[in-house]
Structure 1
């Protein structure tokens, strides 16, 4: 029997637990305590519903519940589908003490959480992430939202969950590419703030790829512990929390320019982290050897590190100008001083960014 990890996101009266371990979906007495009222709406997708929806609804017992099953994929994280969830809450006659359960990956968590933030100006929601990426990143911290054709996550709200339930056995049904995508966010935590964790990841890369249960649970717990600490210190991304976007400004632009779904989020972030590390080296902020070490780890985890062929540096730069971290039209990027040390860097010269992007775009695949 593997140990249960219990962490807390410390936000005063709005603090909440993160439970990590195998078989937690069937531990109804633990997670149903987070439900305050009788009305519950479960939001999931066409991939996850056949696997886990019945187990969740069975645990709800006599509560008045309904479910929304959305198509699977980043391209469906839209205002239109948020409206589908809100309409379902209306049909359920959900009250202010109702709860939305997000059962799925980051797309479902972001969209369902945003709908919960909107219904009656904010009702409870519970995160049950079923992908590694969602378990270590998007399910913790209360960022919710949807995409627009102009860019990713441009519409959203900060809305913290009541609890996060991470059943590690849900990873058994996760396709290999989706699993590897989640490992990029795990690497990010070591890259921006924990060099010892980065070294641990290098030593355990093979075990992580093989999904060894204890190693995976440890990686999830250490990632969540880092994120919970950052969120507690900077809930609304006024400072330190922005560091969690290391690689994301490049990555989000890549996702948008390639069409949502062509590159998985973690794949785009992996490429984005390498670009940020190389830019840091070009700006003489960090050793080039650390950028090479980062690239080596990502490749060991079978993640992409190069721009897809045909990617336009101009298109990427144009999308990066829309990034939410920018101030007064000036680009702000998360760069680093080497492994474990990230910074928010204002006024990064566009010529330097363009040079890195152009060099990568022209590099042989």
Structure 2
């Protein structure tokens, strides 16, 4: 079975109000790429991946007229993808949803959020992801309320072979210090937002631990916007979101080989899953942001990871049409897991 995660930059801008693709020469959300060019590039990438399931991060918007599932299924139909059905969980207000495209002949996913529903006052522990969690983020001995801007997607999955597991799609974010005046305020807001992202990781880790304690296998995948050594405030807090989600050395750990390599060899060359243009510096920044983590019980099922990076993966580099499509389609690249399920 092939399971992938793919952050598609501003996928929503490629659809009209009827959830149909806009194949024209107007600008997309990708700088210098038309909507038609991005659509064709995405079609090639998804076709070449030929995945049984793709966790789409920054999926098309869900709203009064916009429909994430309808848009993704229309996209899949246009390119005759095996992964032609879509499912999502809680909608958000960012125009960047989390949804799964899947092949219904290969697996059956069901939206199955766990945790207690939390009202405006929030709840301690690991409440349902569309609510709020109470946690003390600093040293003032007062609890803060933490919310997900993009609630993770929790799925109960059954494969055609009868194997069951939990799948969680996530997109963690640490907001930029918009509206800050002066360097001191920028630093204060940035630290506060970083604390909130780490709290989201703690919340998500608590859910993983609950799932594992219930005897479930777990796959966590998506854009964690974080990696060992990546964040400028990591030295202040002592750890990254990725380390929180992997878990403690003496606990039930999650595994991703790229995260493991980054943690074990921080000064060595690292894999990357995203490439951003830094205009003021005239260069590109590469980062490891996207992961497919699996629990210990799945490591015996011959898992094999691959990042479809056009400059780092030899097969992607040699396939010139795919290489160009990956560069036009998004500022992130797919992370693919092949596993016997």
TM > 0.5 = no
Kindly indicate which of the two structures has a greater share of residues assigned to helix: 1
Higher relative contact order (CA 8 A, sep 6+): 2
So what's the TM-score if we normalise by structure 2? 0.27
Q: Which has the higher strand share?
A: 2
